[in-house]
Amino acid sequence: MAKTSTRVSFGLYALELKQDSSPVTATPLQPFSKVQDLRTDNASSRPYASFEPDFWLLDGGYKFLPADPVSVHVGLMSLEMSDAAGVFADPPVLTVAFQQVHTADGLTLRFSNYTGDYASSVAVAYYDAAEALIREDTYAVGSTEFSTGQEVANIKKIVITFQTTNRPYRYLRLAGIDYGELISFEGTSIKAAAVIEETDPLSAELRVNALDLTIFSQDAQFSIINPEGHYAALQERQPLAVYEVVDNQSVYIGTFYLDEWENQSDTVSLFHAVDLVGVLDRQPYRGGIWLGAGIALEDLLEVVLGSIYVPYELDAALVGTVITGWLPAGSVREALQQLAFAVGASVSCARSGSIKIYKTKVAADEPDEVTITRSQMGQGSPLALRSQVTGVEVTAHNYVAGTEDVELYDDTLAAGTHEIVFSEPAHSLSATGATISESGANYAVLEVAAPGAVVLSGKRYIDTTSVTRITTADLTAGVRPNVLKITDAYLVSNTNVAAVAGRVYAYFQQRYRQRMRLFAPAAEVGQVVVVDTLYSKQIRGLIEKMSIDLAGGFVAEVEVVGVQNE
């Protein structure tokens, strides 16, 4: 029986320090390394394969480096490798300068979480505005996340020297730097920890993974009514990194961001946190319209996610997919859902610090990645039959620029800047009573010099719709027709509607839902598995949901949707 425990790291970081920081280094770096990733926080958690001794673990997670370094975000990666003792002959030095003078509760360094590589000896020197040394300390680092936990005031510059690596012959891999304290809870401090991981293969909705955590702490900093306490810092988008230690091997479960906090008693606190997809639900996106030649998926994702420094991984099979149609104004999560549904992609943050966008898998047609035998399951593994979908109707939207002038807005506005958001896309905008400082297909920003009537005019895009149907032939008598209708996928046009309809229909023909309980599962959400089921049969399906009790022994309630394995 494997021994398990949970570890959760809270980041109490001062975001204003990061925004004011300018990390630079004179140390030679790998040509694809960008020190600015440390400021924008978009270094990927996934490693690229290299021939450093005993580095390239054959778990399929070590990827090949793209030829174009622009798309690579690894943070700081040194050109020099440490020696057989893990010592750098010319230690890499990172200098972080600030525009303003700051006080930091500590300095947190995040190294290569996935590979377990870190700098084992780090010297940190703080300087004030007069370039005078405030203090200098050398730390022995023991994990991929390290916090000095030392408050320093009047900082204008920090110089960090990475002297050794924890393993021999390693490049320095620094994925993130934060200015604040990192607090870790593990063992008996964690009363309960449960994670729900979900994915919708079709991306008909973008599901949010969630963490529910109960901790025991006598630290007054965890009082919800302490204005100087941690709660004040944790209100913002602060990461909670979650790990499960199985037989002394640390398994990275994911990074979550605090959503709600409740103090049940003086010592017990409850946290509800969501993953990056949940964070994107609060991030506005103005949308747009792409007609004619459209836009490549990777270019649009760079606009939607890259511009707000959200790390993501795009399946190579989806690169080059052309998008045409309309994205309404809304949240980034909604935009990503529309995109993923139209191109046939699934989205998940499970076991990753970034958003993974990969080609939709219809389990019946995919090779299995993991086999789950009856001996691996707990007692009671019910098999259910989902209701039969006898057909699908998908509406294609085909937009052309209209020529008729319409009034988009007519009202009195106060002096100042106002953003008008449209319910339908428009073009050729003009305004009276205000000037348009910025506009798009879904919005116009108006500058009103003096209060008064403002009229915003423009031309609509005309949406011509057509419906594509796929229905089950030769329905047996007594089967009630159940046709699924999809009408509001605005990036589905005549060019991709047949593929979308086929995909949706194929997915819903997978009627078996297998539930099971697994202990310390190797399988993950989004993987195709073959599962032993009742009557000595097997189900080939995709794991759509895992409810994992981390503190209770890494026990997972798993849901698989698929077909009978032939």
Site of interaction with another protein (CB under 8 A)? 44, 46, 48-67, 71, 81, 169, 249, 313-319, 354, 356-358, 522
| Shortest distance, position 522 Cβ to another protein, whole Å | 6
Question: How far is C-alpha 97 from the geometric centre of its chain's CA atoms?
Answer: 29
Give me the phi and psi of 462, to 5 degrees please.
-95, 125
Give me the phi and psi of 367, to 5 degrees please.
-70, 145
Output 460 or 540, the one with its CB closest to another protein. Answer: 540
Nearest of 268, 278, 270 to residue 210 by alpha carbon:
278
Output 227 or 367, the one with its CB closest to another protein. Answer: 367
Output 52 or 463, the one with its CB closest to another protein. Answer: 52
Output 46 or 545, the one with its CB closest to another protein. Answer: 46
| Shortest distance, position 366 Cβ to another protein, whole Å | 12
Output 105 or 532, the one with its CB closest to another protein. Answer: 532
| Shortest distance, position 375 Cβ to another protein, whole Å | 15
| Shortest distance, position 541 Cβ to another protein, whole Å | 20
Longest dimension (CA), the chain: 87
What are the residues whose beta carbons fall under 8 Å from the beta carbon of 491, sequence distance 6 or more?
323, 324, 325, 326, 327, 338, 339, 341, 342, 397
Output 32 or 216, the one with its CB closest to another protein. Answer: 32
Concatenating the DSSP letter of every residue in 386-431 gives PPPP-EEEEEEEEEEEEEEEEEEEEEEE-SEEEEEE-SS-EEEEEE
Output 24 or 316, the one with its CB closest to another protein. Answer: 316
Output 15 or 81, the one with its CB closest to another protein. Answer: 81
* 297-304 and 332-343 helices, crossing angle to 10°: 170
Q: How far apart are CA 389 and CA 470, in angstroms?
A: 11
List strand residue ranges (DSSP E) for 237-390, in order: 239-246, 249-263, 268-274, 284-285, 288-296, 312-314, 322-327, 330-331, 345-348, 355-359, 370-372, 383-385
| Shortest distance, position 23 Cβ to another protein, whole Å | 23
| Shortest distance, position 57 Cβ to another protein, whole Å | 6
Output 347 or 470, the one with its CB closest to another protein. Answer: 347
| Shortest distance, position 324 Cβ to another protein, whole Å | 22
What are the residues whose beta carbons fall under 8 Å from the beta carbon of 432, sequence distance 6 or more?
453, 454, 455, 457
Contact 257, 272 (CB under 8 A): no
Output 234 or 297, the one with its CB closest to another protein. Answer: 297
Output 15 or 65, the one with its CB closest to another protein. Answer: 65
| Shortest distance, position 247 Cβ to another protein, whole Å | 8
| Shortest distance, position 40 Cβ to another protein, whole Å | 17
Q: Which two tokens stand for residue 470?
A: 């796929």
Contact 454, 411 (CB under 8 A): yes
Q: How far apart are CA 381 and CA 373, in angstroms?
A: 12
Nearest of 300, 240, 292 to residue 269 by alpha carbon:
240
Q: Is the dihedral of CA 120, 121, 126, 127 positive or negative?
A: negative
| Shortest distance, position 294 Cβ to another protein, whole Å | 20
Contact 47, 352 (CB under 8 A): no
Output 319 or 483, the one with its CB closest to another protein. Answer: 319
| Shortest distance, position 300 Cβ to another protein, whole Å | 15
Give me the phi and psi of 403, to 5 degrees please.
-115, -10
Measured at the CA of 551, the angle between CA 200 and CA 532, to 5 degrees, comes to: 50
- C-alpha Rg value of the chain to the nearest Å: 26
Q: How far apart are CA 312 and CA 318, in angstroms?
A: 13
| Shortest distance, position 199 Cβ to another protein, whole Å | 15
Q: Which two tokens stand for residue 489?
A: 């996928």
| Shortest distance, position 163 Cβ to another protein, whole Å | 20
Output 44 or 493, the one with its CB closest to another protein. Answer: 44
